[in-house]
Amino acid sequence: MTDEQTLDVRVTDGGLGAEIRGIDLRTIDATGFADVKQAWLDNLVLLFRDQQLSDADLIAFSRRLGELDHAPVQETGRRFVGGMPELYVVSNVVENGQPIGSLGNGEAVWHTDMSYTELPPKASALYALEVPPTGGNTSFVNMYAVYDSLPDALKQRIAGLRVKHDGTYNSGGFVRQGVIPSDDPREAPGALHPIVYTHPETGRQALYLGRRRNAYVEGLDLAESEALLDALWDQVEHSPHTWTNVWRPGDLVLWDNRCTMHRRDPFDPDSRRVMHRTQIKGESRPA
């Protein structure tokens, strides 16, 4: 992309998400990248089709957004890509009796990546190498819009409250490496973050929930916390402000973890799905 070209942005009709066409992420110049970043802030999720990225290319592009997190150690207790600790493999494939990645083939419920940490990542990039013929699609929800749609009484109820983002289970439902599970959310590991979060770059307010399982609202008794969280999650699960990517090999999807959540459809376990993911570090605590 040169200075004279205009970014080709095709906005979806789901209330978030846009496809960026005619761009090679390996060779994008500074002006083009600045336009991409603004389109990302405006649309929350970007899709780039027909990319041909090596792992080094994926890491190099991701670093243009900021410093990268190291991928979490998986439930098997190991990393999957030697020499590239930033790379996380999402796959159901087993070779020679060993999984080549994590998160399997089941449904992954609505969640925000690694929000159980004190400084959650600001962005994730997921690149498709192999995709099943059906299923395994990824959906996103606009958490600005979910917050805006809350009844005023519910907005007032949650103002100033913090929720514990559980660190026991990953989005595939597996217990994280080194964690002893507890199903009492008051005792489970995790980080406390504000339920209503102000995005540090856009200044907009979003609902910031993480995951439903083992979540807990600070200072409430358990029944009261559960009732409040159920009311909030009902708004998420029935939100019309969603968009789903039907994956093709060569797709790269970049999303803002600070104002979206995402989920994955299940797929046939006999089909292969291989994705490589990077995460861009957060630069400030949710506030």
pLDDT of residue 84 exceeding 50, the answer is: yes
**Does domain 8-280 sit in CATH 3.60.130.10?**
yes
Among 15-29, 88-102, 139-153, the minimum mean pLDDT is found in: 88-102
**Residue 66: C-alpha distances to residues 122, 124, 223, 228 (Å):** 9, 11, 40, 35
- What average pLDDT score do residues 110-115 get? 92
Nearest residue to 72 via CA among 94, 88, 84, 60? 88
**SS3 sequence, 75-143?**
CCCCCCCCCCCCCEEEECCEECCEECCEECCCCEEEECCCCCCCCCCCEEEEEEEECCCCCCCEEEEEH
Each domain of the chain, given as residue ranges in start order, spans 8-280
Residue 96 Rama label (left phi>0; alpha psi -120 to 50; beta): left
Which among 66-80, 156-170, 217-231 has the top mean pLDDT?
A: 217-231
Give mean pLDDT, residues 191-215. Answer: 96
Q: Name the band, by pLDDT with cuts 50, 70 and 90, for residue 232.
A: very high
Q: What is the mean pLDDT of residues 275-284?
A: 95
pTM of the full predicted structure?
A: 0.93
What integer best gives the mean pLDDT of the chain?
A: 92
pLDDT at residue 74 in the model: 63
Q: How many Å apart are CA 86 and CA 219, to the nearest integer?
A: 36
